[in-house]
Amino acid sequence: VQLVESGGGLVQAGGSLRLTCKTSGFSFGDYILGWVRQAPGKEREGVSCFSNGRGSSYYADSVKGRFTMSSDINERTVHLQMKNLEPEDTAVYYCAAVRARYLTDRYCVQLEYSSWGQGTQVTVSS
């Protein structure tokens, strides 16, 4: 399983960014994919997760209404569209995956993913 993130950068508060996770090495429909972030000095936080096989998704309360996760099965990519960004969104964002079909707190919140990308930095200035 390989996960490669891109799309991070520096943006002003209120701005938007779109993160992309390019995947390979596994059956796309059999996995749950998630976005996890880690801010300096803080623990990792599950931002969103998505089950391709079930078409269901989860979002942390802190990003609901601002972030949208989507996937392109043909391109084997997962995107995280982030709007109305806040300085509190500043973090390294990781793409993560685990072979499972049903979203549960075990994956989306407790972050029991089996594979991780290298991360991409998102910095939101005030």
In three-state form (DSSP H/G/I as H, E/B as E, the rest C), the secondary structure along 106-126 is: HHHCCCCCCEECCCEEEEEEC
Over residues 62-111, the pLDDT tens digits come to 999 999 999 998 999 999 999 999 999 999 999 999 999 888 899 999 99
Question: According to the model, what pLDDT value does residue 82 have?
Answer: 98
pLDDT 10s digits, 10-54: 999 999 999 999 999 999 889 999 999 999 999 999 999 998 777
Q: Which of 50, 89, 96 is nearest to 73 (CA)?
A: 50
Predicted pLDDT at 52: 75
The residue ranges of DSSP E strands in the chain, in sequence order, are: 2-6, 9-12, 17-24, 31-38, 45-51, 56-59, 67-72, 77-82, 91-99, 115-116, 120-125
pLDDT of residue 29: 84
Residues 6+ apart with CB under 8 A from 84: 14, 16, 66
Q: pLDDT tens, 44-60?
A: 999 999 987 777 889 99
pLDDT of residue 10: 98
Q: What is the pLDDT of residue 28?
A: 84
Q: Please give the pLDDT value at position 3.
A: 98
Please report, in angstroms and rounded to a whole number, the separation of the first and last CA atoms in the chain: 37
